Amino acid sequence: MTTLFAFLATLGILVIVHELGHYAAARWAGVRVLHFSIGFGRALWQRTDRHGTVWALAAIPLGGYVRFLDEREATVAEAEKAQAFNRQSLGKRAVIVAAGPIANFILAIALLWGLNLHGYSTLRPVLAPVPAGTPAAIAGLQGGDWVLSLNGTSIDNWQTLAEGLLVSSQTDARLEIEDAQGHLREAVFPSETLQTATQGSEPLRALGLSPGHPPLPPIIGSVIAEGPAAIAGLQAGDRVLAVDNASILDWQALVQRIRQTTGDDLTLIIERAGQPLTLRVTPQFVSEHGQRLARIGAAPQIDPVLMERMRVVHRDGPAEALGHAIERTWDLSVFSLRMMGRMLIGEVSVKNLSGPVSIADYAGQSVHAGWIAFVGFLALISISLGILNLLPIPMLDGGHLLYYLLEWIGGKPVPDRIQELAQRVGMALLLTLMTFALYNDLARLFTT
């Protein structure tokens, strides 16, 4: 239920801001706004303001629209023709159409400015154990490695590393690494390897990369109530010495040994208050990325000093926060366009497209992670919505802006017949994109 509410809240905020952009620009241009609707279909609530605009909340909350007075849609009284959208200058019409996506970018900048001003923390890009045979393993990367830079650019969080690897496939990716012992070295991903990885739906996993942490001692920090570990008698502070007679040196070795078990019971030798104890644990089995894995419901004991070292705190003053918010919005916009372009030419798989199911899932996860994570997610989706609507596809804002560009070049509007044909092509393109995105959503849902 939390996921559904988070998805509806995300969609509602983004749609309201987008349509308010169109509305505000229309009022500025002197265009009469007839209808402002959040959602489609039957109106659940509506009211008419003093300007004659009907404000409505509709039954299907998957978008919204603003409808203007327009002679192409209905007969307009002579006295009101000056307020019709189609009677406005080319520049005003372009501003009204562009104002929706621009409002989404402004929202993203405002949200990121607020985060930068308030302050937020991220975890440094420490790698989880690297699967054998993956490009990361071939490059010599290991679990616990810290990534310091990518092609000379400093990296201090996992998201920046992920984005950098995804956009650098045309050249070799050179990583500066600090291992768990503090030694520095370089690891290289050849461009061919990066290009191959981006052909799948999970390029970073294909490289063998996933977030991790430095080696932790095999000491129980907490157990889930009524979970396998708790039922077996494991307690916080227990040090695991061996699992089924296999010595355990760190927490990751413990996790790997448990996850790979196929038996009904595990025999754990632990140390408690200086004394060895033997306990039998019956694990739970879950499906993860197509694999059947065992879990016992226990978390590691985390050294606060280590966690502080892994954490990076970002906090700016008002002016600096605004500058960083604008820069981040620009960087994410360019990144999105690059990825779309690479999809078009086949360098990146269309499996990377996400639809409403994935967005809802990410929204729910961000809410569970806290308001800071949700605000960051909202900013990212707002940027994506702005970019999507600016694509030169008929039926989108970018398609209308393309018509206006052609009108400016040719000196006259694009003929209605051509616009109608383009609308049909645009509809087909959008339906194709939606089909791919929904298929990818369902594929992820049923393979995890």
Catalytic member of 19, 271, 347, 420:
19
Establish whether 407 is a catalytic residue.
Answer: no
C-beta of residue 143 within 8 angstroms of C-beta of residue 127:
yes
Q: How far apart are CA 386 and CA 369, in angstroms?
A: 25
Q: How many CB atoms lie within 10 A of CB 316?
A: 17
Q: How far apart are CA 306 and CA 217, in angstroms?
A: 12
C-alpha of 308 from chain center: 26
H or E stretch covering 291? strand 291-295
Nearest-5° angle of CA 242, CA 244, CA 250?
30
Which of 165, 240, 157 is closest to 195 using CA atoms? 165
Low-confidence ranges of the chain (pLDDT < 50): 448
Packed helices 318-344 and 371-390: angle between N→C axes, nearest 10 degrees: 50
Domain 220-301: CATH class, spelled out = mainly beta
Q: How far apart are CA 207 and CA 194, in angstroms?
A: 8
Q: How many CB atoms lie within 10 A of CB 283?
A: 21
C-beta of residue 392 within 8 angstroms of C-beta of residue 398:
yes
The structure's pTM equals: 0.74
Per DSSP, what are the bridge partners of residue 43?
A: 58
**Confidence at residue 408, expressed as pLDDT on a 0 to 100 scale:** 92
Q: How far apart are CA 355 and CA 339, in angstroms?
A: 16
Identity at 144, one-letter amino acid code: G
Residue with tokens 């889930």: 224
Q: How far apart are CA 238 and CA 445, in angstroms?
A: 36
What would the CATH number be for the domain defined by 123-213+302-314? 2.30.42.10
pLDDT in tens, 305-319: 767 777 777 788 999
Question: Which of helix, strand or coil describes residue 202?
Answer: coil
Residue with tokens 């307690």: 235
Per DSSP, what are the bridge partners of residue 313?
A: 121
Identity at 297, one-letter amino acid code: G
Residue 114, C-beta contacts closer than 8 angstroms, at least 6 positions apart: 375
Q: How far apart are CA 45 and CA 163, in angstroms?
A: 42
Domain boundary assignment for the chain: 1-30+88-119+331-448, 31-87, 123-213+302-314, 220-301
C-beta of residue 127 within 8 angstroms of C-beta of residue 145:
yes
Which of 8, 108, 106, 100 is closest to 391 using CA atoms? 100
C-beta of residue 43 within 8 angstroms of C-beta of residue 37:
yes
Residue with tokens 């000491």: 219
Q: Do domains 123-213+302-314 and 220-301 have the same CATH topology?
A: yes
**Confidence at residue 355, expressed as pLDDT on a 0 to 100 scale:** 55
**Confidence at residue 155, expressed as pLDDT on a 0 to 100 scale:** 85
CB-based burial label for 255 (10 Å; 0-12, 13-18, 19+) = buried
